[in-house]
Amino acid sequence: DAGVTQSPTHLIKTRGQQVTLRCSPISGHKSVSWYQQVLGQGPQFIFQYYEKEERGRGNFPDRFSARQFPNYSSELNVNALLLGDSALYLCASSLGWGRGNTEAFFGQGTRLTVV
Amino acid sequence: AQSVAQPEDQVNVAEGNPLTVKCTYSVSGNPYLFWYVQYPNRGLQFLLKYITGDNLVKGSYGFEAEFNKRQTSFHLKKPSALVSDSALYFCAVRDHGSSNTGKLIFGQGTTLQVKP
């Protein structure tokens, strides 16, 4: 079975531009979360979606937005890119978000470089 | 606020020796604890979790972790280290507060270096 897939793997954007990152969860998983990992730090939570609804939002500006589609895939959008947005963006999927569905499985990530 | 601390930036161990990567946590209520490993330019791989039950949890690749409620610790261990275990290790706690988002809170990470 395919794991969590993310696209693209790498991209370079200019300050002020907009970017869209994509994620396909493991088949059967209904929850998708997004994390930002800056070099040398642990991942920071951005969003969680479950059954196409936002279930959680981290401490990120409104320039960050996301959505989940009927097939449970997800997109993360970042507007007005700043140099500080350069990071590895990780998508994680899980069966759900209840007590019995606790572990999250991560994709390979998208490396975003803002110049 | 819930948090995770990994007090060591790097752990060095010789191949064949036991290894320990330390993690302490601060949560309200019962903790859901996880260990993940990250190889260079890769995503995170799930190793093991503690939700409830036995304090010694066994996971992938021969790793195990011991939950200690009194010391609020969840140290990762392996009896005999391999060079291929060299990677970045993250401890995480699940935020299951009132919003129950399932958000994971990660430590800063510990680089494990296993030398031949």
Please determine, for residue B74, whether its predicted confidence score (pLDDT) is greater than 70.
yes
Contact in structure between B95 and B1 (CB atoms under 8 Å)? no
Q: Per mean pLDDT, which range of B15-24, B93-102, B104-113 is the poorest? A: B93-102
pLDDT of residue B40: 86
Indicate whether B99 pLDDT > 90. Answer: no
Residues in chain B: 116
Residues of chain A with pLDDT under 50: none
Residue A68 touches partner B, C-beta closer than 8 Å:
no
Please provide the average confidence, as pLDDT, over all residues in chain B: 92
Position A105 scores a pLDDT of 93
The alpha carbon torsion through B47, B52, B53, B56 (nearest 10 deg) reads 30
pLDDT of residue A98: 60
Per residue in A56-71, pLDDT tens?
Answer: 899 999 999 999 999 9
Q: E strands, B1-116, where?
A: 3-5, 10-14, 19-21, 24-26, 33-38, 44-50, 56-58, 64-68, 73-78, 87-95, 103-106, 110-115
Phi then psi for residue B85, to 5 deg, are -80, -10
> Which of helix, strand or coil describes residue A85?
helix
Does the beta carbon of B44 lie under 8 angstroms from any beta carbon of chain A? yes
pLDDT value at B113 more than 90: yes
Take residue A40 and report the two structure tokens written for it: 């040398």
Contact B43 A103 (CB under 8 A): no
Q: Do residue A55 and residue B101 have CB atoms under 8 angstroms apart?
A: yes
Residue A76: predicted pLDDT: 98
pLDDT 10s digits, B84-94? 999 999 999 98
Report the distance separating Cα A61 and Cα B76, nearest Å: 34
Q: pLDDT per residue over B26-60, tens digit each? A: 988 888 899 999 998 788 999 999 988 889 999 99
- Residue B100, pLDDT above cutoff 60: no
Residues of A in contact with B43 (CB under 8 A): 4, 6, 90, 106-109
